[in-house]
């Protein structure tokens, strides 16, 4: 009986830890990831693979998959990042902080996207997936959507800024008579639109594989 209680308690601890490590959902751009740096490549239709060591390789820009665009206006909302993502994207290094919340403002966002019927036709009806997927030890993905802008701002709370080990000098404190949840910001502007975030889709030789 004691063994059973101990086993159930252990399962409870494991489940508790698992749920506590789940990342919150973004308020905007759910399931999107930031590119390591803002860029002009990485359009929807680009296929890449991640090998068994976690190294990413670009496979091919599948030009037969055409992307459409829509103007999304200004997007503002909370997003969550890993410390590694913000080190690459903003050159901010954090001390013992794995998940970083930020309020993000994307000015005049442009959304690029592909239609599922087009992706399925090229990959599976035309058998393109079989040509692309050749390494059995890699996982393959396609960029399905991308968000572009010439102006993006990341805002952080006092608690997060206290955890910045390097790069805090690049932040500006927002002057306001009101108390702000995210009073420190870093803004990035570009001469032309750059892709900043992307939505990926795992691809397989058989479309019914998971």
- pLDDT tens, position by position, 42-69: 999 999 999 999 999 999 999 999 999 9
- Say which residue the tokens 């995210």 belong to: 182
Domain for residue 106, yes or no? yes
3-state helix, strand, coil in the chain (%, to 5): 25, 45, 30
Domain for residue 186, yes or no? yes
Number of domain units in the chain: 1
Domain for residue 121, yes or no? yes
Where helices occur in 44-99 by DSSP H, the ranges are 83-90
User: CB–CB of 121/64 below 8 Å?
Assistant: no
- pLDDT tens, position by position, 121-139: 999 999 999 999 999 999 9
pLDDT at 2: 45
Name the residue range of residue 155's domain.
24-203
Helix (H) or strand (E) holding 132: helix 128-132
Domain for residue 6, yes or no? no
Angle at 149 between CA 110 and CA 180, to 5 degrees: 110
Enter the tokens of residue 63.
């030009």
Mean pLDDT by 10 residues, the chain (210 residues): 42 37 83 96 97 95 96 97 95 93 98 96 95 96 98 97 95 92 97 97 85
Domain for residue 8, yes or no? no
Domain for residue 92, yes or no? yes
Rounded alpha-carbon distances, angstroms, from residue 97 to 35, 165, 166: 20, 10, 13
User: CB–CB of 108/150 below 8 Å?
Assistant: yes
pLDDT at 210: 62
C-alpha span between 36 and 38 (Å, rounded)? 7
pLDDT at 4: 43
């Amino acid at each position: 009986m004691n063994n059973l209680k101990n086993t159930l308690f252990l399962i409870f601890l494991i489940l508790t830890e698992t749920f506590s490590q789940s990342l919150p959902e973004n308020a905007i751009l759910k399931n999107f990831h930031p590119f390591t740096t803002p860029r002009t490549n990485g359009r929807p239709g680009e296929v890449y693979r991640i090998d068994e060591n976690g190294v990413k390789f670009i496979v091919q820009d599948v030009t037969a998959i055409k992307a459409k665009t829509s103007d999304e206006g200004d997007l503002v909302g909370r997003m969550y990042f890993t410390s590694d993502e913000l080190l690459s994207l903003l050159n901010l290094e954090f001390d013992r902080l794995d998940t970083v919340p930020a309020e993000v403002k994307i000015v005049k966002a442009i959304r690029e996207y592909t239609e599922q019927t087009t992706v399925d036709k090229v990959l599976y009806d035309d058998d393109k997936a079989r040509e692309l997927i050749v390494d059995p030890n890699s996982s393959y993905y396609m960029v399905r959507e991308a968000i572009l802008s010439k102006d993006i701002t990341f805002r952080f709370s006092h608690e997060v800024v206290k955890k910045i080990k390097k790069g805090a000098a690049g932040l500006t404190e927002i002057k306001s008579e009101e108390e702000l949840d995210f009073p420190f910001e870093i803004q990035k502007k570009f001469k032309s639109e750059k892709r900043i975030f992307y939505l990926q889709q795992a691809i397989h030789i058989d479309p019914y594989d998971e």
